[in-house]
Each structure stands twice: as C-alpha cells, then as structure tokens.
Structure 1
Amino acid sequence: MSFANYKETIEDGDTVILFLGFDNTLSIRVNKGTTSQTRYGALRHSDLIGVKYGSQINCPKGWLYVLYPTPELWTLNVPHRTQILYSTDISLVTMQLDLKPGSIVLEAGTGSGSLSHAILRTILPTGHLHTFEFHEQRAEIALKEFKTHGVSDYVTAVCRDVCKDGFGVEDDMADAVFLDMPSPWEAIVFASKALKKQGGRICTFSPCIEQVQKSHEVLRENGFEDCSTVECLVRNFDVRTINIPIPCLGGIEDENTMLTNKSESTTENKIKCLENSLQENNELEKQQTDKECKSADNNDTFYSYDLVGRKTKDYFQVKSGVPPTTMPGHTGYLTFASLYL
C-alpha cells in the first residue's frame, strides 16, 4: 500500500480506512490473524486480505466499507500528536503556494503529518518535501509513518530547530516554504535564503493575530511582497426540498353571475369551496402516507430524506438551507507572501 500509487486489492500490511457511517471512520493496519473491534462487532483482518478497496464488508451487527487511504481520509484518522491542519486550510495552502508535481517544499513543524501527506500527493512524482520537527520523538514517528505509507523516497524528515539552526539546505532551491510554529518570524530570515528569488512563496500558520502582525513586519524587512492574511472557515447548510400547498381561495365564477349573486351567496360558495378543498387534500395526504408506510423497499431514500412536507393535489417546491446550531470555528490565520529579489 502506498499513498503514491493506487492498487485495487488489499494485502497484508496495508493501512486501510473503515467507513462505518457519516463522520465515523477508522484507520487500521491489516495484519493477518488480528481482529479489530468496531461498532458493528469484530472484524477479522484475514477477511480483508484479497478484497477490493471500496467493497462492503459484513460484520456480526452490521456492515462497513473498506476504503483506500487518501490524504483527506488520513487527516480525519491521523493519530494526533499535535494540533493538525484540516482539509479546509490544507486546500488553501496548496493553492496559494502554487504546489504542483516537481515542486520542492520546506515544511517547518511536521507535527502529526496531516499537511505533509497532502503536500506529497500534490508534488509527486518528481517533487520532494523537506519537513522539519524540533521534537525528536515526533520526528521519528513521522518518519516511520512515511515509510509505512510508501512515500519515504519523496520526503526527508529531520529533527531540527529551524528557528536557531536554519533549514540546512542549499540557497535558492525551494519553491515554497510553510511555517507552523509559535514564532514563525524567527525562521523567515532562513526561509528567504532557501527560497527561489523569483516568485518563491511562503505561508505561515498562526492562531493569534499578534503573531500575524509580527510575521508581516519581518516579511517586509526581508524583501517579501504581496503579503496577505486570510482565515478559511467552512459553513455547512442542511438543504431540503419543501412542499408547499397552494391554497384554494375560492372558485372563479362568471362575471355576470358574480354581479347578480348576493354577497351572502358568494360567501357561502367560498366557504363550501374551502371545505371541499381541505377534505380533498386530507384524503390525498392520507393516501400518500399509507402508500409510503406500506412500501418496504424505497429505492429513492435520499430523495425521501430531502423532502419536507406532504404532497397535495396542488403544490409547489422550494429549496431551503438551514445552518446547524454549532459548527467548527477559528483554527488559525494563514499569511502568504512572495519573494522577488
């Protein structure tokens, strides 16, 4: 198994993602003879070997899907040794740093390796990632993960404090630099030496606005231009299709008849029309509900979930979007700049 290449069947030693439901995934490493416990019961690893990725696997209390790991899925299941960047920020970083196959990237602050896997997927097969972590144990664990995931040939993981010792690479070699550390301004002077002088890109990730202000000052002092800071947030909406009945406001009568009829007679006709319309709508709603209840095999589950309100004889549909009561908030500020010397 490798994050660099895709294959169809599961083999012993592969890292796979178990999809148990919405917002419920689990990563395991397949070892023949081992059993993992899930919400649907025991899962024997021997049953996974030789199975195609994407297959449905039956368990004692239900079923799950086994998926090939991607950087996005790994971000959701990575063992947290530090706070990580999620796909929302990662996508913006990848775009703004102009990463592509063949790019040389310096990353200071390996952490749990969430961003590292996304960068590697983007710069393969001809690019290279140099990632630095000042914590020795975290650096060793990250290096082991890179080897397990089959990308060790495309990454150099080093235990190093870049704020004091720099990156230790040749000058003018990097296309992009990413700094995720408490004091990114201390490493900016070293980044300016390592970056290519015609359009090299840098990004810093800082939770506090005071860190952003200090980084902006040092970036300008070291010749960086086009400095900008953004905050990238996701706002989800629950989108449904709503059925709204068209009310009956009375029958349309002939103009001459309306002029000759008395007002009392007209009122009686309107009341009678409304009563008949309500009775007819109730009968239609009852028939629709009975039909749905008796139908045991509903092939259009998503459509039924999407609809709100019963269908009447005369109705129209509108789309409605409602945000959840709670949602993820601030993670950090991303500061981008370009180097032209």
Structure 2
Amino acid sequence: MSFVEYSDCIKEGDIAIVYVSHENMIPVKVKPGVQTQTKYGVIRHSTDLIGKQYGTKVTCSKGGWVYVLHPTPELWTVTLPHRTQILYTTDIATITMMLELKPGSVVCESGTGSGSLSHAILRSIAPTGHLHTVEFHQQRAEKAAEEFTEHRVGHLVTVRNQDVCKEGFGVSGVADAVFLDIPSPWEAVGHAKTAMKRHGGRVCSFSPCIEQVQKTCEALTDQGFEDISTLEVLLRVHDVKTVSLPTPDFGPTQPTQIQTDEDAKKPPQKQNQPCVTQKTTILPRDMPGHTGYLTFATKPRT
C-alpha cells in the first residue's frame, strides 16, 4: 500500500479507509489481532481485512456492512487527524493545476500542517519528483515525517523544522513551484524566489484575509514576479430530486362549442390530467462560505 501507488490486497501495516457512510469514514492501520469498532459492529483485522481485496464489502459483527477502500489523498483529507486547519479538495485541485505540477516536479511547501495538501502534491509529482516541506512547529514536523514514512511516500519528501521566513526552505535553485500557507507569506517571498529554478516557475500563497493578500502581492511585485492574480474558490452543490409535473393542457383538438348560459351554471367536471416525472436541481439553502484567497504568480526566466 502506498498513497501514490495502488495495491490489490490489504496487507499487515497498511492504512485502510473503512467507509461506513459518506459522512463517516475511519482510517485504520491494519494489524493482526486488532479490532475496529463501527456503528454496525466489530471489524476483525485478521479475518476481515488482511488478504482481502481493497473495495471489499465487509460484514460487521452486528450484521451491518462497510466497504474497505484503498487510501487516496482525497480520502485522507476527509479522515486525517487535524493538527491544524487544512486545505480541502476544492482548493487543492486548483492549486495543483495552477502550479502546473506533474511527475518529476520539485516543490517547496510551507507550512506542512496536517499534511492534507502534501499528500496531493506527492501523488502529482511521483515517482521521480520531490517535495521539500517546512514546518515551524517541531512536534507537527516530526508527526508529518512519521506519517509520510508510514504511508510509504517518505522517499519523495524531505521535512524540515525551521522558520521559513528567516531560514528559507533549505534548498536553492531547485524548485519548479512553491506553495506558502503561513501567517506572513510576504516575508517568505524572497526565500521562495531563491528556492526556485532560474528558468522560472510558479508560486502560490493561501491567505484567509485580503490584507495578507495585498502585502503578498506587493512583495511579489518587488521581487520581480509576473502574472500576479488572486482568486477565491467557492463550492456550490446542487441537490437533485425527482418531481412530478402535470402535462400542459393546450385545449381540445376539436373546435370548441359555444358555451351557453346553462353550460356556465354547471360545475366544472374533473378530469384525470396526465403527469410527467423528471429530474430537477434544488439550490442549497446554506452554502460553505469563504475559506481563503489563492494568489498565484510566475517567476520570469533569467
């Protein structure tokens, strides 16, 4: 099992995702003799998981069932233990596309946080790329390094515990792209430029406040970056439901008789009007609000 490669069968030591429902997924480390509790009962790792194929439907002790899924960066994002606020798939997809990440890319990231974006970057740059990620908090840096090794992507990433605003990324002239998710990204723009290759590259900064964006854009301009742009990604989910609508009545096909006074006094006769069913979308009453601004820029070729 690896977060950047797929395996058919579940093995001891794997990280598997137990899918109970769309709102309830549990990451488990598979070990012989260990049990995992779900609302449908117990899953026994030795008999229910080890040796089974990923995607298997597992019956729990109470008779209910769950699916056991292969881990992916998207599933890890919704199940990981939170050490910090994290980026979610909507922003992550935009970041990996706008930074033009591909197999073999070298990326610098700060800060590592809970590793949500890091896993998506690693999948994008595998098998020959490398991620240099910097985390100011020592315990978070150590835990992130431990998780990367456990998820069998440790060979693709170097974790450094240092202040990127003062010490930089620890590399020079190697990065194709740089990502900043720190309180004062404008203080790290110079270090980002130093870490990037001479032939150019892309940089992205994530900030929740527009004042941070303004200072970052000023620093990018001062450092000679071009094509500076800021965008905000908002997710709007439409609910789909089936509705039944009456068929429009366009009147009789034969010429209508002239209505007399006696006819007008008669009560209207009820008719069984045919209906048609169709799918329609309902706008959400509540919509997730602002998460943050994404600022992108390009380093000119030198």
Q: Deviations over 1:229-284 (max 9, x none)?
A: 111110111122322012657655445xx24x63533774x823xx2x24xx6xxx
Distance in 2, Cα, partners of 1:167 & 1:105: 10
Give 2:196's aligned residue.
Answer: 195
Give 2:238's aligned residue.
Answer: 237
The match for 1:163 among 165, 189, 199 is 165
**In the alignment, does 2:120 pair up with 1:118?**
yes
Unaligned stretches of 5+ residues in structure 1: 282-313
Distance in 2, Cα, partners of 1:250 & 1:104: 70
Q: Deviations over 1:288-341 (max 9, x none)?
A: xxxxxxxxxxxxxxxxxxxxxxxxxx2234443223322322111110000114
Pairs within 5 Å for 1:47-62: 47-59=48-60, 60-62=62-64
The number of equivalent residue pairs is 299
Give 1:335's aligned residue.
Answer: 295
* Secondary structure of the corresponding residue to residue 71 of structure 2: coil
TM-score for the superposition, normalised by structure 1: 0.83
Q: Deviations over 1:146-186 (max 9, x none)?
A: 1111111111111111111111212x211000011001111
Give 1:86's aligned residue.
Answer: 88
Give 1:179's aligned residue.
Answer: 180
**In the alignment, does 2:19 pair up with 1:19?**
yes
The match for 1:271 among 250, 268, 275 is 268
* Secondary structure of the corresponding residue to residue 188 of structure 2: helix
Pairs within 5 Å for 1:311-322: 314-322=274-282
Change (3 A) 1:168 1:101: same
TM-score for the superposition, normalised by structure 2: 0.94
Distance in 2, Cα, partners of 1:225 & 1:251: 68
What is the RMSD computed on CA atoms of the aligned residues?
Answer: 1.8
Deviates further, 112-121 or 235-244: 235-244
Distance in 2, Cα, partners of 1:20 & 1:103: 36
Distance in 2, Cα, partners of 1:229 & 1:252: 60
The letter for the 2-side match of 1:239 is V
Distance in 2, Cα, partners of 1:211 & 1:136: 25
Tell me the CA shift for residue 71 of structure 1. 0.2
Distance in 2, Cα, partners of 1:57 & 1:108: 39
Distance in 2, Cα, partners of 1:57 & 1:318: 35
The letter for the 2-side match of 1:240 is K
The match for 1:68 among 62, 67, 70 is 70
The match for 2:104 among 102, 105, 110 is 102
Change (3 A) 1:262 1:40: same
* Secondary structure of the corresponding residue to residue 198 of structure 1: coil
The letter for the 2-side match of 1:22 is H
Q: Deviations over 1:177-219 (max 9, x none)?
A: 0011001111101111111233310001111111000000000
Give 1:128's aligned residue.
Answer: 130
Change (3 A) 1:13 1:262: same
Distance in 1, Cα, partners of 2:83 & 2:265: 75
**In the alignment, does 2:286 pair up with 1:326?**
yes
When Rg is computed on C-alpha atoms for both structures, the one with the higher figure is 1
